[in-house]
Structure 1
Amino acid sequence: MNGGPVTVYLSMIISGINDIDERDMTVVIEVYFRVLWNDPRISFPEDLFNDTQDAVPVSYSLLEDLNLWRPDPYIERVHRMNSASLIQPFGGIQLQRDGRIFWGQMFVIKLGCPMFFHDFPFDVQVCKIEMASYFHSVRDMSFAWHGDGISASPSIEKLLGNYEFAFVQENVTSCKTIGYVFGKYPCLRSKMTFKRRYRNYLLGVYVPSSLFVVVSWASFFWPAEAIPARTVLLITALLTTISLYSGVQQMTPAANYTRAIDTWFFACIMAVAMALFQYAIILQIRNRQKLVVSTRVKPMNSSESTDDARDYWLAMERKVELGAKILYVLAFLLFNLVYWVRYLM
């Protein structure tokens, strides 16, 4: 157009978030999309307005009937966009006294949102809302925020059971639309930030799996002669931890990389498994003790030599038991320190 680029003002009110599909990586939102622009070639008759009315609503067909110029904003990564309507679409057009045209309509938008779950369940998902012109370059058109730009209903956060919700606006004036047309085109961008609420995971996953590890340490304080009791305790704790992990896997978003919750369960399973391996070493030491003592009794028949061998293996057994109590507990506590600092700080 002559006289420089036309400034088109955009705004959006998000009235609701209907769904966050982590497997499909999409977000379904209800929005009121509004566009405001001024076409200097148009002049409205003054008698169209009165002293109390600075804007006149008109039908949607007016722009087409008069063959008026219209901006062409579009939203990136839209999978589906349906207009909300009852008898007619929710929205309309207003002609304003200052010569500007206001267009607004309600839509239900299914928006693609790449999600990454490396920090799950402490992850923060960022969904970009990018609005650009499809064909008009920055030489013909510029975009600016109208009013608050993109805003959201205060009730959204209460309706999202698993997430906390926030907006971050970016002052982007142009962007490259590679794959559509060449050049720089007006663009506005905002970010919807979804921070997962992880309290339920702490109570339902982390606390129980930690307790299974602590229960497995109880075997360190039982006598080595209690073979059935220690074995059943450790195997039960190991299988229960694995079963809990399998249940969590079915309820959490799939990923082909290691997530925070995978690291946690790997450490818990290894902690219980190492307690089982430690008891296997104790049993081997006791078997070795019996074998050496019986062998020395037969050829030497020396009670002093037999007592020395028995004392040696008893001391070895006590060292292994004590070392396991200290090493395993300290290792798991150190892992917890590193883990929680990494994901919560």
Structure 2
Amino acid sequence: MAPVVGVTIAIFLYLAQICWGVQQKINYREKEKQVLDQILGPGSYDARIRPSGVNGTAGAPTIVRVNIFLRSISKIDDYKMEYSVQLTFREQWLDERLKFNDFGGKLKYLTLTEANRVWMPDLFFSNEKEGHFHNIIMPNVYIRIFPYGSVLYSIRISLTLSCPMNLKLYPLDRQVCSLRMASYGWTTDDLVFLWKEGDPVQVVKNLHLPRFTLEKFLTDYCNSKTNTGEYSCLKVDLLFKREFSYYLIQIYIPCCMLVIVSWVSFWLDQSAVPARVSLGVTTLLTMATQTSGINASLPPVSYTKAIDVWTGVCLTFVFGALLEFALVNYASRSDMHRDNMQKQRRQCELEHAAQLEAAADLLQDGGATFAMPLVRQPGDQTLEKMRHCKVHMQQPQRPNCCRTWLSKFPTRSKRIDVISRITFPLVFAFFNLTYWSTYLFREDSEGE
């Protein structure tokens, strides 16, 4: 009988402990409600009055510490010079009016979802163009009040911020985009923003940016002075490096291919006028379309960009190949005219020589009959003088490999094509050497 009584008493005590724990938990939630009503009651707290300064000093400014968690950077627009970012923004300050009893550590903090219940710093983003809060499924905002009076405000927001860019080295450039936060109405005598000690800015792992890479970020202060006073300001400088592989595939390689295709005209026969004209005009129009497409995605700036130099020189090479054919066509017609003149001159010389031979034969026949000495005719003297002048006018030429090589091509039009086959690639290769060494060196120097 005694063991049964003991077991019954043990079960009763266990159930009593469970009920007591449930009662204690219910009382704990009741205490949380009571604390909120006590510290935020109408007669005990006024959200219009800012908290006191350090150590409760009424005249000292309120210190607000800020930190940011960058969740994503969706786009960086070169034309509008802006970028979009999504971040979790946090502020923390001390308001001694919100101190409460934590009941031995059972109340770690109190949570609010209405920002208008407590005093809030009047921070704004000075370079913001557009922005919105996130309300799915519930508003992504909370306020935590700690027992010693510290207030933590956290909110998730998306912003579109202006980013003035220098595109002189585009697309081999680096851009610095800033995120600026400042006080709108409170001067530094009343409110001071400071970065949170330790790690004020965090970035999500595996941050992916289209056509850019986030190299590093720097935190700094940017206090501004106006006619109404000095205002506290914080800023984050984000250093973006443009991914060059995209532009290499989409711009530089196609432009090189167009320039090389325009050189095919040098290897076509000079009589293939339709083929050479259509090839030159097609490459020229394609290069012009490529250039206009590139400029359409960039703002109309007053200075020359690196991509402008590249497309301008490539367009000049393609246009030069078309002009080369015009020169070849003109030289070909000159060669034909010269050949016709030479043929006519040779025909006249042959006719004149035949007449002289006929006259000489007549003289020889008459000399055998009359035994008269052979008399030179005026035509013979003229021929001898011409041969004498030609011999003396020809100056001795020094052996030259280039001249010897060009002598293999009798016409001037053919020589122009042959020289262009060598000159155009060499000049284009020299331009590439100068272009890449110049802009890559400038990129490294400015990056340092």
Range class of TM-score, shorter chain: 0.7 to 0.9
**1:198 equivalent in alignment to 2:239:** no
Cα pair 1:132 1:186 within 8 Å, conserved: yes
The residue that corresponds to 1:162 in the other structure is 211
Aligned amino acid, residue 135 of structure 2: S
The residue that corresponds to 1:84 in the other structure is 134
- C-alpha deviation, 1:99, in angstroms: 2.9
**1:255 equivalent in alignment to 2:303:** no
Match of 2:263 among 217, 224, 227: 217
**1:332 equivalent in alignment to 2:387:** no
Aligned amino acid, residue 48 of structure 1: D
Cα pair 1:58 1:92 within 8 Å, conserved: yes
**Structure 1 residues 51-60 or 143-152, which shifts more?**
51-60
Report the Cα distance in structure 2 between the residues aligned to 1:204 and 1:81, rounded to whole angstroms: 33
**1:10 equivalent in alignment to 2:66:** yes
Q: Structure 1, unaligned stretches of length 5 or more? A: none
Equivalent positions of 1:51-62 (< 5 A) are 51=105, 54-60=108-114
Q: Taking every aligned residue pair, what percent have the same amino acid on both sides?
A: 26
Aligned amino acid, residue 193 of structure 2: F
- C-alpha deviation, 1:144, in angstroms: 1.7
Cα pair 1:29 1:110 within 8 Å, conserved: yes
Report the Cα distance in structure 2 between the residues aligned to 1:212 and 1:62, rounded to whole angstroms: 64
Aligned amino acid, residue 156 of structure 1: L
Higher Cα Rg: structure 1 or 2?
2
Q: Structure 2, unaligned stretches of length 5 or more? A: 1-52, 351-386, 395-406, 442-448
Q: Compare relative contact order (CA 8 Å, sep 6+) and give the higher one, 1 or 2.
A: 1
Residues 22/16 of structure 1: CA separation in 2 closer, same or farther (3 Å cut)? same
1:27-51 CA-to-partner distances (Å, cap 9, x unmatched) read 2322211101123x53613x23543
- C-alpha deviation, 1:253, in angstroms: 2.8
Count how many residue pairs are aligned between Structure 1 and Structure 2. 329
Cα pair 1:175 1:186 within 8 Å, conserved: yes
Cα pair 1:32 1:105 within 8 Å, conserved: yes
- Counting strand residues as a fraction of each chain, which structure ranks higher? 1
Report the Cα distance in structure 2 between the residues aligned to 1:112 and 1:49, rounded to whole angstroms: 49
- Counting helix residues as a fraction of each chain, which structure ranks higher? 2
Residues 171/247 of structure 1: CA separation in 2 closer, same or farther (3 Å cut)? closer
- C-alpha deviation, 1:128, in angstroms: 0.8
The residue that corresponds to 2:286 in the other structure is 240
Match of 2:88 among 29, 32, 40: 32
Cα pair 1:127 1:191 within 8 Å, conserved: yes
Helix, strand or coil at the partner of 1:120: coil
Residues 58/48 of structure 1: CA separation in 2 closer, same or farther (3 Å cut)? farther
- C-alpha deviation, 1:198, in angstroms: 2.9
Aligned amino acid, residue 60 of structure 1: E
- C-alpha deviation, 1:295, in angstroms: 3.5
The residue that corresponds to 2:317 in the other structure is 271
Residues 123/279 of structure 1: CA separation in 2 closer, same or farther (3 Å cut)? same
Helix, strand or coil at the partner of 1:169: strand
The residue that corresponds to 1:48 in the other structure is 102
**Structure 1 residues 142-151 or 18-27, which shifts more?**
18-27
Large movers: runs of 4+ above 6 Å: none
Cα pair 2:335 2:411 within 8 Å, conserved: no
The residue that corresponds to 2:39 in the other structure is none
1:218-269 CA-to-partner distances (Å, cap 9, x unmatched) read 332334333333333323322332233344444x234244433332222112
Report the Cα distance in structure 1 between the residues aligned to 2:137 and 2:249, rounded to whole angstroms: 48
The residue that corresponds to 1:106 in the other structure is 156
Residues 326/302 of structure 1: CA separation in 2 closer, same or farther (3 Å cut)? farther
The residue that corresponds to 2:220 in the other structure is 171
How high is the TM-score relative to the length of structure 2?
Answer: 0.64
The residue that corresponds to 1:127 in the other structure is 177
How high is the TM-score relative to the length of structure 1?
Answer: 0.82
Residues 288/312 of structure 1: CA separation in 2 closer, same or farther (3 Å cut)? farther
1:64-106 CA-to-partner distances (Å, cap 9, x unmatched) read 4xxx4x3222111212232212464212111224432111111
- C-alpha deviation, 1:288, in angstroms: 1.7
Report the Cα distance in structure 1 between the residues aligned to 2:338 and 2:143, rounded to whole angstroms: 97
Cα pair 1:132 1:187 within 8 Å, conserved: yes
Aligned amino acid, residue 51 of structure 1: G
